Chain A
């Protein structure tokens, strides 16, 4: 029988991302994701319908105001599908970020009583949102049929953009969940930040509206690439940003490494501060 020896000591201060430990706790990760999904729409009438209503209603509102009233360009696509294709990853990202940010504070009771890698909490928050995404995606498929848009082979690249969205949500979520544990200001600032971020992403307008000289910096916003990627892969529009996916991927990677390091620094004292 294995009897592992664990040394409990003050924080060493060096970054060692313990991937092995996360792997050892994969069953708990599975249970946390399962719990999040199970609990999310308990005691609601519409239940999982909220996963569809959120992006769908926003799409209707955008189509009315930005589309029919303001007449913003939509790359020749019908307004509803132009907006919905962007809201699909955006609503996932915004919700995942929101869940991840609050997860440490919401679990303060468990955190004070037992040990597990705390990083499982933001990871499970980000991953459990994928069920909502899948439900909203079914509606998207229905819209494709309605507008008689045939996806091309580009649709195979979609998982890549989805992965970028998941990684972006986790990277920022690591930062914000740890920051929120210490500074509750985060929870009040977050809704505004997310809203600003949405307008800094091509959700309500096409990236081609951005002046060309600014596009390279605009493209560093990972969600701009994710959204244009969705439209490119599913609706066959062009690639207005003209950037490679590597730029935003590098941004996300750096944010993720920093996020893990910061999270780990806070992790040992989280039970003392939440």
Chain B
């Protein structure tokens, strides 16, 4: 039995609603810092309930809980080294949040995850690319930001450029690239990560059909080399072709986990039955 690459226990992430859009101003900070002692005082007088206690009748507390949304709630899963696991679910089901937590972009609110091996996050195409720099310069910059060493990048440089099919333009600033060229080079850098664990988020939505096939092949190869891949996608066909096992996330929790064909068929069934339920 191979070793566990990723193990999460009760992994949860709570966002404050509006946190992503609204920036608190300095006035809010001052207001908070003036109010905080009073609130602490009141809590000390109330004494009995810890914050977040569901039985509290206080109005301010129920507002507090309404202002939060759990993007991921109590997710426990295990992924063995060398497995390719698909993650499916509708928009807002927590797929991206799960990858963000595992790639350490953001911290969990509760629970934890143990990750064995270097994690490469392919959450985006062109992470760290700068339009003014040339293809060559961006390859090194983006590679370094994604976690490759300079030696690794230099070692695989020709391979990356050939994969992206941009040999002729490698010393041209990428702001002069066509969209396709840009996406190919950007994906190529990410696709040559030598990390033991790859977190892939719908990156293959980029490029034309031929290049997409190439990218899928690349991920399949990564798996054959014994690396662990978590693959988030809405393209169920891609998941079916790539992943032995899949996890279906629904409203931040695991709805079903198991062999990909089972999970996908249940998922599709649920998708088609939703309108039936709402009309009937």
Chain A residues with a Cβ under 8 A of chain B: 3-11, 27-28, 30-31, 35, 38-39, 42-43, 109-116, 182-185, 268-269, 271-273
Q: A6-B116, A11-B107, A113-B123 are in contact. List 11 more A-B contacts (CB 8 A).
A: A5-B114, A5-B116, A6-B104, A8-B115, A28-B144, A35-B141, A39-B133, A113-B124, A114-B123, A114-B128, A271-B100
Inter-chain CA distance A273–B118, complex, in Å, is 26
Inter-chain CA distance A197–B15, complex, in Å, is 38
| Interchain Cβ contacts within 8 Å, total number | 115
**Are A7 and B23 within 8 A (Cβ)?**
no
Q: Is the interface of A mostly helix, strand, loop or mixed?
A: mixed
A6 touching B115 in the complex, CB below 8 Å, given contacts A31-B140, A43-B132, A114-B121: yes
Most chain B beta-carbon contacts within 10 A, residue among A30, A38, A110? A110
Which residues of chain A come closer than 8 Å to B24, judged between CB atoms? 182-183
**Are B118 and A4 within 8 A (Cβ)?**
yes
Which residues of chain A come closer than 8 Å to B137, judged between CB atoms? 35, 38
**Are A38 and B146 within 8 A (Cβ)?**
no
B80 to chain A, nearest CB (A): 13
**Are B29 and A272 within 8 A (Cβ)?**
no
Chain B residues with a Cβ under 8 A of chain A: 15, 19-20, 23-26, 29, 100-119, 121, 123-124, 127-128, 130, 132-133, 137, 140-141, 144-147, 149-150, 196
**Are B23 and A273 within 8 A (Cβ)?**
yes
Kindly report which residue of chain B lies nearest to residue A112, judged by CB atoms: B105
Which residues of chain B come closer than 8 Å to A109, judged between CB atoms? 124, 127
Inter-chain CA distance A28–B148, complex, in Å, is 9
Kindly report which residue of chain A lies nearest to residue B148, judged by CB atoms: A27
**Are A8 and B29 within 8 A (Cβ)?**
no
B44 to chain A, nearest CB (A): 21
**Are A183 and B23 within 8 A (Cβ)?**
yes
Which residues of chain A come closer than 8 Å to B23, judged between CB atoms? 182-184, 273
**Are B115 and A272 within 8 A (Cβ)?**
no
Pairs across A and B, CB under 8 Å, 24 listed = A3-B116, A6-B104, A6-B115, A8-B107, A8-B114, A8-B115, A10-B110, A11-B107, A27-B144, A27-B149, A27-B150, A38-B137, A39-B132, A39-B133, A111-B105, A112-B100, A115-B104, A116-B145, A182-B24, A183-B23, A185-B26, A268-B107, A269-B106, A271-B106
Inter-chain CA distance A260–B214, complex, in Å, is 44
Inter-chain CA distance A4–B104, complex, in Å, is 15
Inter-chain CA distance A8–B199, complex, in Å, is 15
Kindly report which residue of chain A lies nearest to residue B112, judged by CB atoms: A9
**Are B196 and A3 within 8 A (Cβ)?**
yes
B27 to chain A, nearest CB (A): 8
